[in-house]
Amino acid sequence: MTTADPVVPHSSRSAVLRVAAVVNETADACSLVFDVPEDLRERFAYQPGQFLTLRIPSERTGSVARCYSLASSPHTDVQPKVTVKRTIDGYASNWVCDNVKAGDEIEVLPPSGVFTPKDLDEDLLLFAAGSGVTPVMSILKSALARGSGRIVLVYANRDPESVIFADELRELTDKNPQRLVVVHWLETLQGLPTADGLAALCTPYTGFRAFMCGPKAFMDRVHDALAQLEVPRNRTHAEVFNSLSGDPFAAGAPVEVSEEDAADAATVEVELDGETHSMQWPRRQTLVDIMLAKGLDVPYSCQEGECGSCACTVLEGKVEMDNSEILDPEDIEAGYILGCQAHPVTDHLKIQF
């Protein structure tokens, strides 16, 4: 399968977008800039730090789904842009970098994710390693354009040639010397980042809200550094991506409910796209399951609690979740849940997407 094959959406949830440009960022990273037709603008409006899910052709399985963060800002960029970095044995990332060209069409799910600031006026302490800079860049540009706070970026890479967006970061720093500080940590000069080293760098910024994205080992060091500095856990936000094992582009399978489960079901009112839907919610089914069974266009990607696409808010009632690790404590306190992991506890609930 190649990008020359006709691309047809696999469900009403997805859309086919044309690649307007491919930007070579470094030797092993490229960005895809998308054209979004006028009739899809509302569906593809996004918040800083969110991501798109792309359907990548695969000779082995037909296709694989991968989540790529938006490096563009909704406040400064006309077209959305995702950035993809090659990884060892990374089928999808290598395929994108080797094959996609301007004019190609790719099936895409609308923007998702909860790795986004609620207040762009706050002082922000941003951590990134490698391609983890992608959502962080979206947040950084958005805060400079629409916020008023100070921004510090600590960006770790192997060497100067590995720094994605190097020129753009330099230009932004030159234009915003009073608000933006960029600190590069290069492995060839300083070794791998350490918790002590990161804590020493960040001591002047302990009152800032922290966002981090990168490999697990890097984010573990960042968490350790912030703990040393006694930064509250509810002021730190981490973005984690795992490869999706399911197919979020496929139409949902019918949900079978036994008479016993139906008799004990909760009732839920779900607000989605400005409309309210009332339905029964069997306790062994997830919210995403029952909404798909009703034919609703519910946002979701992985159905494994790993991506945040189905994040929504409990307005009334209580749920329990099978897996909620990607949600920050602050998000849970605010009522955020993952629809693909949620089961009703109370008899009556109100949920808002």
Do residues 102 and 130 share a domain? no
Instruction: Name the more confident of 4 and 264.
Output: 264
CB 54 within 8 A of CB 107: yes
Are 132 and 233 in a shared domain? yes
Under 8 Å between Cβ of 308 and 300:
no
Pick the last residue of a domain from 239, 273, 301. Answer: 239
Inside any domain, residue 251? no
| Domain edge (last residue) among 206, 239, 272 | 239
- C-alpha 280/C-alpha 265 separation (Å) is 6
pLDDT at 10: 75
Counting the structural domains of the chain, the total is: 3
Q: Considering the domain boundaries, does residue 203 fall inside one? A: yes
Q: Are the beta carbons of 107 and 7 closer than 8 angstroms?
A: yes
Angle, in degrees to the nearest 10, between helices 195-202 and 216-228: 50
Weakest-pLDDT range from 58-67, 154-163, 215-224: 58-67
- Based on the domain organization, do 81 and 158 belong to the same domain? no
Q: Where is 306: in which H helix or E strand?
A: none
In a domain, 144, yes or no: yes
> pLDDT per residue over 85-126, tens digit each?
998 888 899 999 999 999 999 999 999 888 899 999 999 999
pLDDT range class, residue 242, cuts 50, 70, 90: low
Residue 18: which residues within 8 A CB-CB, separation 6 or more? 34, 35, 103, 104, 105
For residue 331, is pLDDT > 90?
A: no
Strand order in the sheet with 311-316: 275-281, 266-272, 348-352, 311-316, 336-338
pLDDT at 246: 64
Adjacent-strand bridge partners of 271: 276, 352
Quick one: what percent of the chain has pLDDT higher than 90? 71
For residues 56 and 93, give the distance between their C-alpha atoms in angstroms, rounded to a whole number.
9
Instruction: Flag the least confident range among 12-16, 57-61, 63-67, 332-336.
Output: 57-61
Same domain? For 130 and 178 the reply is: yes
- Final residue of a structural domain among 112, 136, 165: 112
Q: How far apart are the first and last CA of the chain?
A: 36
Same domain, 187 and 233: yes
Q: How confident is the model at residue 3 (pLDDT cuts 50, 70, 90)?
A: very low
Residues 141 and 203 in one domain: yes
Q: What is the pLDDT of residue 234?
A: 83
**Maximum Cα–Cα distance for the chain, whole Å?**
66
% residues pLDDT > 70 (the chain): 94
Same-domain pairing of 77 and 144: no
Same domain for 267 and 342, yes or no, is yes
Residue 214 phi, psi dihedral angles, 5° rounding: 160, -175
Same domain assignment for residues 91 and 56: yes
11: pLDDT confidence band, cut at 50, 70 and 90? confident
State residue 1's pLDDT score.
Answer: 38
| Single-letter amino acid code for the residue at 257 | V
In a domain, 152, yes or no: yes
Give the lowest-confidence range in 154-158, 193-197, 219-223, 257-261: 257-261
Q: What is the CATH number of the domain that holds 227?
A: 3.40.50.80
Q: State which residues form the domain around 222.
A: 124-239
What is the CATH number for 57?
A: 2.40.30.10
Q: How far apart are CA 20 and CA 24, in angstroms?
A: 14
Domain match, 301 and 281 both: yes
When pLDDT is cut at 50, 70 and 90, the band that residue 2 belongs to is: very low
